[in-house]
Amino acid sequence: MERVVVTGMGCLTPIGNGLSAYRDGLRGGVSGAGPITHFDASKFRTRFACEVKGLDVEAHIPKKEARRMDPFCHYALIAADEAVADAGIDFEKTDKDRCGVVLGSGIGGLNTFTEEMSAFARGDGTPRFNPFFIPKMIIDIAPGHISMKYGLRGPNYSCISACATATNCLIDAFLLLRSGLADVMLSGGSEAAVTEAGIGGFGAMRALSERNDDPATASRPFDQDRDGFVLGEGSAVLMLETLSHAMRRGAKIYAELVGVGMSADAHHLTAPEPEGRGAIAVMKRAIEFAGIRPQDIDYINVHGTSTPLGDVAETKAIKNVFGEHAYKVKISSTKSMTGHLLGAAGAVEAVAAVIAVHDGFVPPTINHFTDDPECDLDYTFNQAAVMPVRYALSNTFGFGGHNATVIFKRFEE
């Protein structure tokens, strides 16, 4: 079986546009939350989010092309461009039949759908829809755009599993490479759901924080006073290659992807299984796949959404899987900084895990004020920890009970 390595990364996040800015934001414990600027949120129960800031789309994508894309596609293409540049790959010297894209979104073109249906509702009932309505909205169009830009003729599709989407995409890309069906895969996720429908829909579920008086500290994973997640947006793309292909072209290597796991809660539409059974299963499967022991894990980037039920269930699961090591392993929720990027979360957090392995620091869980006795592990509260990280595990759990986990290892020939 082929070994799989990370050779390039790109991202757009609420705490920094581009890999370097994101890394600095993680190290500095920056909050990406603030009042919503994409629309007038004054009548909504939640009036803040973690938005991408200061992005000039037309600096990256020609205006005519950009108009034919939803923002989630803008984000995906921009992140992919950075990953390609970061990897230093020349696709003209690469077999494009063996290069592909697996990239997803939890919701896709929600902004496009909202705009088109609102315009229809305001009209006289005569159907007048943009001819690009469907191509702008569908989730699989994002990997399609990336493949067309670079002429990549290998596997090209989307996985969709709510908030586990990007991790499932990474797992599929990994398995394609490992089995010899491809040499190079761009993989990750993108989301642009900070819209009236996104804020309104999650707000109606009472899933969002309502800390409108203090948005910057609203995402409080594992804090006693957490009251819901903060909706985020952005994208991250990782360049995955077989080790043999990366070595042949002399690529730099950030980390090796060594473990993957998938499971289902089979419990509830939105709530986690209270004892964390699905989370227990997915972590155990990833660790077993990697051929390591639980105590080999140095860092866990948890799903950690800042919800009352979810944070407790994940804590229970970690204790079950890791035993006494649960109290020694470093843990953090980078959602405390970026908010919850839904279908892009797994990719943005995978980049954080790779950075931890490559750069030797664990990002903090910011906004901790009050201890929760049910959450009593080392969550790296408020300040990054400088330390060597050999193995980093990243969890993502999605509505519908979808669980996906990946494990990255410091690269060793």
**Residues taking part in catalysis:** 163, 303, 340
Report how far residue 100's alpha carbon sits from residue 343's, in angstroms, rounded to the nearest whole number: 19
Whether the Cβ atoms of residue 357 and residue 255 lie closer than 8 Å to each other = yes
- The DSSP-derived string for 192-248 is ---SHHHHHHHHHTT-B---TT-GGG---TTBTT---B-BB-EEEEEEEEEHHHHHH
Q: How many CB atoms lie within 10 A of CB 343?
A: 34
Tokens of 218: 């609203």
Q: How many CB atoms lie within 10 A of CB 123?
A: 10
- The DSSP-derived string for 290-351 is HT--GGG--EEE----S-HHHHHHHHHHHHHHHGGGGGTSEEE-THHHH-B-GGGHHHHHHH
Whether the Cβ atoms of residue 265 and residue 243 lie closer than 8 Å to each other = no
The dihedral over CA atoms of 71, 9, 400, 271, expressed in degrees to the nearest 10, equals: -100
Tokens of 49: 């989010």
Question: How open is the CA angle 233-238-240, to the nearest 5 degrees?
Answer: 160
Question: How open is the CA angle 226-230-235, to the nearest 5 degrees?
Answer: 140
CA nearest neighbour of 289 among 264, 322, 318, 260: 260
- The DSSP-derived string for 275-306 is T-HHHHHHHHHHHHHHT--GGG--EEE----S
Query: Identity (one letter) of the amino acid at 398?
Result: G
Tokens of 237: 């793309």
- CB neighbours of 389 closer than 8 A, spacing ≥ 6? 298, 299, 330, 356, 357, 360, 361, 362, 410
Handedness of CA 213, 216, 222, 223 (dihedral sign): negative
Whether the Cβ atoms of residue 400 and residue 252 lie closer than 8 Å to each other = no
Whether the Cβ atoms of residue 367 and residue 230 lie closer than 8 Å to each other = no
